[in-house]
Chain A
Amino acid sequence: MSANILEVRDLQTQFNTLDGVVRAVDGVSFDLARGETLGIVGESGCGKSVTALSILRLIPPETGRIAAGSIKFEGEELTTLGEEEMKRLRGHRISMIFQEPMTSLNPVLTVGTQIAENVVRHMGVPWRAARERACEMLDLVRIADARRRLDEYPHQLSGGMRQRVMIAMALSCDPQVLIADEPTTALDVTIQAQILQLMLELKEKTGTAIVLITHDLGVVAETTERVVVMYAGRKVEEAPVEALFTEPLHPYTRGLMRAIPRLDIEADAAGTRPRLQEIPGLVPRLTQPIPGCAFAPRCGFATGRCAVESPPLLDVGAGHTVACWEVDRVRASAL
């Protein structure tokens, strides 16, 4: 049994749009160990969600496709797996939680039905047993008065509760992998902390490995063991979380760190942390192939070579890799 439950290699996911082919994910690789919590960070539009959806093969087939690469789950190749097998996997062995708790639950079905549905589908148990399981799960995610809540509809619950329901649903069939795509971004800060705490506790209990997608380095620092930093559809740096925070090696990662919201401006009126867009310059358009380093137009360290030649991933030891031509200069400079 391999130590890695999930192995993503050179994933390329593309969309056909009116402006041309969007290379939303352009050669991303990472591994997820059993029971591990991996963070994926990056600015809006860098391909985090598309990476997640690719793993579950939920890229809308009308416009998008996995163009190349491999995704292995328990050693099994997912990119070529039949749709029926894929359906048996989804929600059962790999689950996903989405960013928008307000819209991700079906408004016309009770919470209990939505959780039980998953259990019936994958565990092959009768509805009555599935409802019991749903009740257990609501208890587990600490929704008070679970039995009564089963018969409530999503609009009767607060945002935080809905996200708990999503977690309950995602974990109802004991998945090996839980992909959480910005699960707390839409929630206010105190609720965010509670939900993250809950996810970590449940992970301890169930041994589920988690891919936590976020643009919030604060969340990464608090919850993950290892971090993948993405930029313009590519992985630019990967490191154990301590290493990343003590010695970020990619100029983009450093930019992100500088852009971590300070405590005094931590939450705006809506209670959400501001998005990380403070690095000057714009994310490149993904419709044209980028010959060199995607970050070059915004990078203070850039040289002539950066614009024409793509930097390879460099292993700097202890599980720390970075894609930058100028690592040594970056390392030598002050944070």
Chain B
Amino acid sequence: MTAYIVRRLFATLPVMAVVALFVFFLLRFAPGDPAAIIAGEDATAEAIAAVRGKLGLDRPMVEQFFVWILQLAQGDMGVSIFSNLAVTRLISQRLEPTVALTLSTLFVAVALAIPVGVVAAWKARKLVDRLVMGFAVLGFAMPGFVLAYILIYFFAVQWQLLPVQGYRPIGEGLWPFVECLILPSVALGVTYMALIARITRASMLEVLAQDYIRTANAKGLATDRVLLLLALKNAAVPIITVIGIGIALLISGVVITETVFNIPGLGRLTVVAVLKRDYPVVQGLILVFAAAKVLVNLIIDISYAFLDPRIRY
């Protein structure tokens, strides 16, 4: 197992290298020029060229790439073109809100979706099941930001139960922290919840039809609760897989949700950096997102071995 993990971690290096290559060149081939933005709308061609020279953007692209990679190898992501702050610093400042939002969304979605999926499977084709699955389709179809505005309208504006927007670090106390995260987590999590609930129901139904469930019944074990818990363990692998895929979705959803709720996280940072063509910041962010996805995948793969004894690495 340890050997497997080490091997997998090494295998992430080429993946990250490819991501780095793509993000670097795609950004530069995309229309838009940070120098023109800095120099201002009325700037002359010479003024823009001067800015380019100052930023080092006039050097051959391949040279720029290797300079960046060498910096990266030393843990330096470069400096923001606009704010002159180190990219690592910018990212680490914005990390907490995004991590908090992702984890709380994950928690809300999983904690609700799995029981709901289990109940739907247990009461398959009955009213509860139909209702739940109907909501799942709805939740899946509804864009997160639409739901976000609906939630804000009712919970924040009409009933004034929760803040409209914003973020409070956990250092300022648990309730203010949680309070700000509830609406964004729900808005971001609904699609995800629908996905997990559906897959939970499907894999539970499959498991409940297995011979070993009949054996469990023949043992008289089936107080339904015991039986469902047992079956959930059997159904876990596909569910965990979808949770993993969902985390990838979350990372993209975060960008929109942070904007809607005005949360100063990585998502907002990304939007601003992309609009301004702040190359070093965008590059750094994409690498961080990619690393997060790779890590999540690794954790998911490792969890398989714990959930299903037939899987060994």
- B-contacting residues of A (Cβ < 8 Å)? 56, 58, 86-92, 95-96, 98, 100, 103-110, 117-118, 121-122, 153, 155, 166, 169
Contact = CB atoms under 8 A, between A and B. Distances in A.
Interface residues of B, number: 20
A299 B217 CA distance: 40
B234 A91 contact: no
Contact of A104 (B214, B234, B307, B310): B214
Contacts of A121: 219-221
B210 A103 contact: yes
A184 B299 CA distance: 41
Contact of B216 (A95, A100, A106): A106
A120 B216 CA distance: 13
A155 B308 CA distance: 11
A87 B223 contact: yes
22 contacts: A58-B217, A87-B220, A87-B222, A87-B223, A89-B220, A90-B217, A91-B220, A98-B215, A100-B211, A103-B210, A104-B211, A104-B215, A106-B230, A107-B212, A108-B233, A109-B230, A117-B221, A121-B219, A121-B221, A155-B310, A166-B215, A169-B219
Contacts of B212: 103-107
B219 A88 contact: no
B215 A105 contact: yes
A17 B211 CA distance: 21
Given A153-B309, A153-B310, A155-B309, A106 B218 contact: no
A107 B218 CA distance: 17
Contacts of A166: 215
B214 A91 contact: no
Contacts of B219: 90-91, 95, 117-118, 121, 169
B215 to A, nearest CB: 5
Most buried by B among A56, A96, A106: A106
Interface string B188-224: 0000000000000000000000111011111111110
Q: Give the top 7 A-B pairs by smallest Cβ distance, nearest first.
A: A90-B220, A91-B219, A103-B211, A87-B220, A106-B212, A153-B309, A91-B220
Contacts of A56: 218
A142 B308 CA distance: 27
By secondary structure, the B interface counts as helix
Nearest to A107: B310
A98 B309 contact: no
Interface string B234-256: 10000000000000000000000
B218 A90 contact: yes
A125 to B, nearest CB: 15
B220 A88 contact: yes
Contacts of A155: 309-310
A91 B217 CA distance: 9
B220 A108 contact: no
A142 B233 CA distance: 30
Contacts of A89: 220
Given A58-B218, A91-B219, 7 more contacts: A87-B220, A87-B222, A98-B214, A98-B215, A105-B212, A107-B212, A169-B215
Contacts of B310: 107, 153, 155
Interface in B159-202: none
B249 to A, nearest CB: 27
A122 B220 contact: yes
Interface in B265-279: none
B214 A58 contact: yes
A33 to B, nearest CB: 23
Contacts of B211: 98, 100, 103-104
A172 B310 CA distance: 26
B218 A108 contact: no
Contacts of A118: 219, 221
Contacts of A110: 309
A132 B218 CA distance: 22
Contacts of B308: 107-108
B177 to A, nearest CB: 37
A103 B215 CA distance: 9
A118 B230 CA distance: 14
A106 B223 CA distance: 17
Nearest to A100: B211
A155 B310 CA distance: 7
Nearest to B219: A91
Contacts of A98: 211, 214-215, 218
Most buried by A among B219, B221, B307: B219
Given A87-B222, A98-B211, A100-B211, A107 B217 contact: no
B221 A108 contact: no
Contacts of B307: 108
Contacts of B233: 108-109
Nearest to B211: A103
A53 to B, nearest CB: 9
Contacts of A105: 212, 215
A258 to B, nearest CB: 33
Contacts of B230: 106, 109
B230 to A, nearest CB: 7
Contact of B218 (A88, A95, A117): A95
A105 B219 CA distance: 12
A86 B219 CA distance: 10
A119 B217 CA distance: 14
A170 B210 CA distance: 18
A96 B218 contact: yes
A105 B216 CA distance: 9
B206 to A, nearest CB: 13
Nearest to A90: B220
Contacts of A87: 220-223
Contacts of B216: 106
Contacts of A92: 220
B218 A91 contact: yes
A109 B222 CA distance: 16
